[in-house]
Amino acid sequence: MLKIAVFCLKALHLAILLFSLSGWLLPANLLWIYVLWIPAMVVQWQLNQGTCLLTNLENFLVPAARKEKPQQQGQLIKSLFLLCCDCVPGDRALKYLVYVTLGACWSIGCLRWYFDRASN
């Protein structure tokens, strides 16, 4: 049962990552969700010492995977880099990459939302 819960948690974490990168593609009437989502997610990271609540829950459910807070930062992204590229950028480069990518995606979403509202 625990393995299923951890699998579902990882799937949810991946789904949130995919939404965070592609939410700007939502239909115009739903873009407000994305425009609010990204800042809320970033605030949640900041309030949780740079880690995601889902990462905390995953580490709680899998005691063998427990790490100190600094090691938890970007844990999902690091695992995806290892899976796809067989390497992991440094923490500082990874943080920069995450924030720039999310900022660019969020900016596109905000522009789409703004221009859609302006044209109506």
The 10s digit of each residue's pLDDT in 21-56 is 999 999 999 999 999 999 999 999 999 988 889 988
Please report, as a single letter, which amino acid is at residue 37. W
- Sort residue 76 into left (φ over 0), alpha (ψ -120 to 50) or beta: alpha
pLDDT tens-digit readout, 95-112: 898 899 999 999 999 999
pTM above 0.85, yes or no: no
CA distance 21 to 4: 26
Which of 6, 73, 79, 78 shows the shortest CA–CA distance to 45?
Answer: 73
Q: What is the DSSP letter of 113?
A: H
The Cα-based distances of 12 to 8, 15, 16, 17, 49 in angstroms read 6, 5, 6, 9, 21
